[in-house]
Amino acid sequence: MSNEKIKDYIKRYIPLADFIADILGPNSEVVLNDVTDLDHAVVYIKNPTITNRKIGDPASNFVLKIMKDGIGDDTNYIANYSGKSKIHPHIRASTFFIRKQKKVVGMLCINIDQEPLEKLAKQIDEFRKLFEVKTAPIGEFKNHNSNNPQPTTVSENFNNSVNSLANNAVQRKEKELGITVKYFQQEQKIELIKDLYEEGYFLLKDSIKVIAEYLDSSIPTIYRYLNKVKQSSTK
């Protein structure tokens, strides 16, 4: 096949190049290369402001490298490799190989300028730093009502009712034990009461009634568990 016929064959991909360029927008350049004429490889280019090349320009070093070293028959494209031009140092490039009778005769290349995205990411990061205040648990404080010499760590959880506090505590315990609340044994229920007591849950009105419902226990039973917890914490 003559070079002119190959060039005509490659130009059939121009509508595809336009299609891709319109989808990606003006920040993306789409180039058709005829690799049978490396000195004048560029046969079509859309949005040429990324590399400032024009029709009739020679092949890039990437194209030359591929043509020198060859490419496997099962490789249809290479995507998302880095590139740069004189005016755009951060380009994300991809190349699709156009074959005729199993031979690579052309390349459809997409070059995307990454610099605006990188600048935006940097600006967002700088803006975030202006308002970012590092937080830490309320804890790392000594509980003076406990015999435990180790600091207590507390992380604040925001709830809108005594019921949601109880529900969160029950779910945590279920996850820890790997069983649902209806299978809690007495010892496990007392552990839950202890957790709630240490969190100050029982300072809330109706707290006994609510947790009794969750544990399917009577209110006197919960009082008994709570007294047991209080006694053990003062020893």
pLDDT for 141 equals 44
Residues of the chain with pLDDT under 50: 139-144
Q: What is the CATH number assigned to the segment(s) 3-115?
A: 3.30.450.40
For residue 29, what pLDDT is reported?
Answer: 94
pLDDT computed for residue 155 by the predictor: 52
Residue 228, number of CB atoms within 10 A of its CB: 13
Helices (H), the chain: 3-11, 14-24, 61-69, 115-131, 162-177, 186-198, 207-214, 219-233
User: Taking the model in full, what pTM does it have?
Assistant: 0.53
Q: Minimal CA–CA distance to 226: which of 207, 216, 235?
A: 207
The confidence score (pLDDT) of residue 151 equals 52
Confidence (pLDDT) at 146: 52
- Facing residues of 111 across strands? 29, 93
pLDDT confidence of residue 136: 58
Asked if 130 and 178 count as a contact pair (C-beta separation under 8 A), the reply is no
Note the pLDDT of residue 234.
Answer: 73
Local structure of residue 47 (DSSP, 8 states): S
Closest C-alpha to 31, from 18, 39, 70: 18
User: In the chain, what are the domain boundaries?
Assistant: 3-115, 162-233
> Which amino acid would we find at residue 213?
E
The predicted pLDDT at position 205 comes to: 87
